[in-house]
Structure 1
Amino acid sequence: MTTAGLSHRIGEVVVTVLDGDGRPLSHREIVVEQRTHAFAFGNIGFDLVDLANQDPDPLPSAYAARDRAVRLAGQWFEVFNTATLPFYWSDFEPEPGRPATERLHRAATWFADRGCRVKGHPLVWHTLAPDWLRPNPIDEIEATVRARIRREVTGFRDVIHAWDAINEAVIMPVFSNEPSPNAITRLAGERGPVAMVRLAFEEARRADPTATLVLNDFDMSTAYEKLIEDVLEAGVEIDAIGLQSHMHQGYWGEERTRETLDRFARFGLPIHMTETTLLSGDLMPAEIEDLNDYQVPSWPTTPEGEQRQADEIVRHYRTLLAHPSVQAITYWGITDEGAWLGAPCGLVRADGTPKPAYQALRDLVKGEWWRAPASLRTDEAGRVAIQGWLGDYRLHAAGDTATLTIAEPGPAQASVRLG
C-alpha cells in the first residue's frame, strides 16, 4: 500500500469490535480485507452490453463471441468499479417512442449486480440527436428533450445514480455537421447555453434528486470556465465538473494536467475525468483540430506505442489521484476492438490479450492503491486501529464477519459487531 502524496485518499479508524451481545472482543485476532474503493475507477461498459443481454444458453454459433466477451468482462472487473453506459439518443431511440430501455436496463442491472456503480452518458448532446426530431418546431423540440430526460432518469433510477446531464454545451449552439442544424443545436441556438444547462439539470434533478449530475465538456479553454461561471451564477446546481482528456495527439504531461485541474478546481466542485484515452500506436497529427476528422484505413497498436502508453497511464493516474478535487476517472475503452475513431486506445488488444498499460493500471488500482488483507489484534477494550484507502472493508474473526466503511480522510472512530 503506497500512500505518498495521497493522504487525502486515506483514513484511519479506531474500531471497537463487539461480539453478538455487544461486549468488546478483547485481544482477538481480526483479519481486515478491503472490498471496494470509494474512488471511481471507471471505464465504458459499451463492449459488455451484448453479454449482459445474452441468453444464458446461446446457440453453438455464438459460443466463440460469448467466450471473448466473458474474458473481456473478467479483465474489466479486475480493474474497474464504475461503468458508463451509452444513452446516445439517435441510437437509443432511432424511432420515436421505441427506446432501448429494456436492453440498457438489463445491462445496468448486470453491472450493478456485480458490485459496480453505473453512470449514464449523456442525457443531452447535439452530435447524436435523432433525425426524426430535426424538423419539429422549437417549443416541441424542447418539450421532447425534457420528456426524454425525465423518462431516462426515472426509468433507470433504481440502477443508475450518476449522469452526464449535458455534454459539450460550449459548442452546442453553433455545432453543425449536416446541411441543416440538428434539433439540439437549433434549440441551443434559440435558448442559449445557460438555458440548455438549466433545462438538463433541472429536469434530471426533479426526476431523481439523489443522482449525481455532471456538466461535461472537451473544451478546456476559458470558454468552458465562463460557461460554468454563468451557470453557477444563474443558480443551477451542478454536482461535478466533467473534463474530457482524449490524448490522441499525445500525453498532456503532468504540468498541463495539474494546471487544468487547478483552473477548474477553483469552482469548489468535484472534478470527474469523464473521458480519458492514451494511444498505443502512432499519434494523431497535431494540426488536426477536430479529432473526428482524422480518418485512416488502419491504426494499429505497436510495441513501442504500448510501452509509451503504459508509462503515460501510470503518470496520468498518479497526477489525477494526487489532486484532491478529482473524484472519478473514466478511461474511454477497455479494448481496441471497435474503439472510438478506430484508435489504438484500448488497454486490451483486439485479440483479447492485455497490453502493458492494462497490467500497469491494474498494479496501481489493485496493488499500490489497495490494502492487502492483514491480521490485527484488538486491545483490552476491543479496539483496533485500521488505516486504509477510503472505501468498504470486511472484518473477519472466528468465522464471523462485519463490514466497515472508511468514509473520510484522517482519524475517525467506529464500532462493529461480529456474530
Structure 2
Amino acid sequence: MRPSILLSLIVPTLLSARALAAPDLLPAEPWRVVRPDEAAMRVETIQLERPVGGQSSAVKLTVLRATDPFYHLQIAKEIPQPIAEATRLRFSFYARSRTENPMRAIVEKAEPPYTPAVEIRPTLTPEWRLYTMTGISRAYPARGLGVRFQVGHKEGEIEVAAVRLEDLGPDPVMMNARAAIQPDAVDQRIRQNRTASLKIVVRDASGNPIKNASVSVRQTRHAFLFGSNIFGLNTSDTSQTQRLYQQRFKDLLNFATLPFYWGSFEPQEGQKAYDRLETMARWCRDNGLMTKGHPLIWHEVYPRWAPAEPDAAIPLLKGRVYDIITHFKGLIPYWDVLNEANNAPDYAQTGTGAWIKRDGAARVVATALRWAREASAGANNVLLYNDFNTGQANVQLLTELQTMKSLPDAIGIQSHMHGGTWPLEEVWATVERFAVFKRPIHFTEATIVSGPRPAGPGSPWVTTPEGERAQADYVERFYSILFSHPAVEAITWWDFSDLNAWQQAPAGFLRKDMSPKPAYDRLMALIKGNWWTKAEATTGATGSCTIRAFQGTHEVTVTDGRGRKATIAVEVPLKRKTATVSVTLR
C-alpha cells in the first residue's frame, strides 16, 4: 500500500532527434551517494572504450555487499529548478551489468514520502541498453524532485551513462482531465450516468388509467457501492464507542470490506477464524451492507508457519481460496482475490512473493482467478485484482491478463494518500487509463488524512480542525468525480474511524471517539442528499408520470382521490437509463 504513480510508457527504445531537443533538467553536478558505505558500495567515474549515448564516461557502481532493503545503496541528484503541476517528464539512461544485476531507477519526491513520478525496475544485461520512461509529475519546488538509482539487490557491477530527465511540457491527457473535473462537467455526468428516467404508470383493477394520482418516490438504497473496511466491527462489544461505530457506518454506507489476511485469519495452521468472520458478515447482511473479503492471496501478512518455497505454498494457497469462498458462498459476494502482485517480487522470502517472482505476476494472477471462479460455481460472485500501482506496470499486467482471457471481473485501484492528496486531474486520468479494459473499476482503499504527518518518529499523528476541513473539501470533489465516471462502481474508504487506523493516521470519517468529522457530514449530504431520490409527481391523462431517479432501490407510493393506496419496491440497476413500473390501485 503506497502512493500511486502515473506512468505512460516503460520500454527499452531509441531516442528520436526531436526527443533530444527537449530541455534536460539534470544538473551537471556529480552523483551523490545517499548512504556512503565503502564496505557496501564503491562509486567511480570511468572512461568508456567507445561513446555511449554521446558520452565517453559512465558511472560505475560496484556492489560489494547486498542490503535489505535494496534502496540503502543508491546514488541521487536533485533537480535544481521547480517543476510545474502535470509536467510530462521523460527519463532515459543507458545501463549495463556484466553480472546481470537488477536495479531500480526512479524519479521521485526528494524527501519523505518519496512519491514516485517515473519508475522502472530492469534486470540489466551485459550489453548496453537504452531505457526510456515517461510519466507525469506533481508540482515541486526547486530541489524537491530527485533522480535515484537503487542497486542493493545483489553483489555485482552496474554501469550507467547518458542519464537525462527531459521536460516535455504540459501533458495533454492531464489537460483533458482538467476540463473533465470542472464542477459543471462533473454534475452533468452524474445526471447522465447515475440517474434514469423512471416512468410510473397507474391503473385501476380494470386496467383503466388513473388521472391525478399522487406519486411519491423515495430511495432506500444505492446501486453504486459506497463502502469502507469494517475492521473495527465487534458485535460482542456493547460499549457506546462500538454502538456509534456500527450506527454511523450503516447510516452512511452500503458496502463493507472484511479482513481475510492469511496471517491473522490462520495464525496457526488449521486454526481459522471462520466464526469471527462469519459473525461480521452476517451482521453486515442483517444491516443492509453488501460485503467483500480482502485479500485471499497476498505476499504480506503471510503466516509464519507457511512455507517460503513456491511449490510448497501453492497447494495451500489454492486450498485457502477454495475453502474460504466455498464457506462464505451466498454471504460474501465480492472478493479481492490477489493483492499487489506488481510489488510481490520484493517479498520473495514469502511463498506468495517467491511464486510471483518465479512465474510472473500475470500467470499467478490468472491462476488465482481461475481457482476463485471454480470455487464460486453457482454463486454470483465478483472477483477483483487489487493494486496500488496505477502506472504502466499494472497496465501491462492487465494487458497480459486480457491476452490470456483472464481479466478479473472488476479492477481494484488503491488510493492511499497519506503523503498528500492526488491532483484531481490524476484521479480522472487514472480511471480513464484503466477503463480501457472494459471492466468495472472499484476504488478499493481510499485514504485522505485530516492532519499533518508528525515531525518525528514516536509522535502521535493527530487530526486537526484545518486538516478536517481540507479532508472534507477533497472528499467531496474526489467522490463526485469518481461517481460521475461510468466505469466506477464502488468506492471503499480506509479506515472508517481514526481508532486503530492503518499507520495510526487520522484517516477516518470519524474521530477516535466516533464523533463525525466534516467529511462524514459532507459525504452524507451527497450520498443521502444530492444523490438520493426524493420526488413527488402527479399522473396525467394517460395515468402516468416520469421522474429522474438515481440508480438503486426505491419505494414508490401511489394514492388517488378515492383513498386508494399502493406501495411497491422498484429496482433501477446500474447503467440503466430508463425504467417503467406499473402500479394498480384496487
TM-score by length of 2: 0.64
* Whole-angstrom CA distance in 2 between matches of 1:261 and 1:36: 25
Gaps of 5+ in 2: 1-185, 559-563
Is 1:162 the counterpart of 2:362 in the alignment? Answer: no
User: 1:246 touches 1:275 (CA, 8 Å); kept in 2?
Assistant: yes
User: 2:342 touches 2:389 (CA, 8 Å); kept in 1?
Assistant: yes
Deviations 1:89-118 (A, max 9, x none): 110111112211121111111111111110
Question: Which residue does 1:34 correspond to in 2?
Answer: 219
- Greater RCO, 1 or 2 (C-alpha within 8 Å, sep 6+): 1
Larger radius of gyration: 2
More helix, by proportion: 1
Question: Which residue does 2:188 correspond to in 1?
Answer: 4
* Whole-angstrom CA distance in 1 between matches of 2:441 and 2:458: 33
* Whole-angstrom CA distance in 2 between matches of 1:104 and 1:21: 52
SS at match of 1:170: helix
Deviations 1:329-385 (A, max 9, x none): 00111110100000111111112211111111111111111122x332223443221
Question: Which residue does 2:544 correspond to in 1?
Answer: 383
Instruction: Specify which of 487, 509, 519 is matched with residue 347 of structure 1.
Output: 509
Question: Which residue does 2:253 correspond to in 1?
Answer: 80
User: How much does 1:150 deviate?
Assistant: 0.6
User: How much does 1:399 deviate?
Assistant: 4.9
User: 2:566 touches 2:583 (CA, 8 Å); kept in 1?
Assistant: no
Q: 1:21 to 1:212 in 2, by over 3 A?
A: farther
Is 1:95 the counterpart of 2:268 in the alignment? Answer: yes
Q: 1:354 to 1:236 in 2, by over 3 A?
A: same
* Whole-angstrom CA distance in 2 between matches of 1:122 and 1:270: 18
* Whole-angstrom CA distance in 1 between matches of 2:316 and 2:495: 31
Instruction: Specify which of 288, 298, 315 is matched with residue 143 of structure 1.
Output: 315
User: How much does 1:15 deviate?
Assistant: 2.4
* Whole-angstrom CA distance in 2 between matches of 1:82 and 1:418: 35
User: 2:412 touches 2:443 (CA, 8 Å); kept in 1?
Assistant: yes
User: How much does 1:196 deviate?
Assistant: 1.3
Instruction: Specify which of 434, 441, 445 is matched with residue 271 of structure 1.
Output: 441
Instruction: Specify which of 273, 293, 300 is matched with residue 120 of structure 1.
Output: 293
Instruction: Specify which of 53, 65, 68 is matched with residue 241 of structure 2.
Output: 68
Question: Which residue does 1:13 correspond to in 2?
Answer: 198
* Whole-angstrom CA distance in 2 between matches of 1:328 and 1:78: 17
User: 1:295 touches 1:341 (CA, 8 Å); kept in 2?
Assistant: no
Question: Which residue does 1:291 correspond to in 2?
Answer: none
Aligned partner letter, 2:189? G
Question: Which residue does 2:577 correspond to in 1?
Answer: 410
Q: 1:283 to 1:19 in 2, by over 3 A?
A: farther
User: 1:279 touches 1:345 (CA, 8 Å); kept in 2?
Assistant: yes
Question: Which residue does 1:220 correspond to in 2?
Answer: 390
More strand, by proportion: 2
Q: 1:192 to 1:417 in 2, by over 3 A?
A: farther
User: How much does 1:23 deviate?
Assistant: 5.9
User: 1:123 touches 1:164 (CA, 8 Å); kept in 2?
Assistant: yes
Question: Which residue does 2:486 correspond to in 1?
Answer: 324
User: How much does 1:416 deviate?
Assistant: 4.2
* Whole-angstrom CA distance in 1 between matches of 2:331 and 2:205: 33
Q: 1:148 to 1:20 in 2, by over 3 A?
A: farther
Aligned partner letter, 2:244? R
State percent identity of aligned pairs. Answer: 35
* Whole-angstrom CA distance in 2 between matches of 1:19 and 1:247: 56
SS at match of 2:297: coil
Is 1:298 the counterpart of 2:460 in the alignment? Answer: yes
Deviations 1:112-138 (A, max 9, x none): 111111011011101012111125x53
User: How much does 1:217 deviate?
Assistant: 0.2
User: 2:453 touches 2:461 (CA, 8 Å); kept in 1?
Assistant: no
Q: How do residues 195-234 of structure 1 correspond to structure 2 at under 5 angstroms? A: 195-209=363-377, 210-234=380-404
SS at match of 2:549: strand
Q: 1:393 to 1:325 in 2, by over 3 A?
A: same
Is 1:241 the counterpart of 2:411 in the alignment? Answer: yes
Is 1:360 the counterpart of 2:530 in the alignment? Answer: no
Q: How do residues 168-183 of structure 1 correspond to structure 2 at under 5 angstroms? A: 168-175=340-347, 181-183=349-351
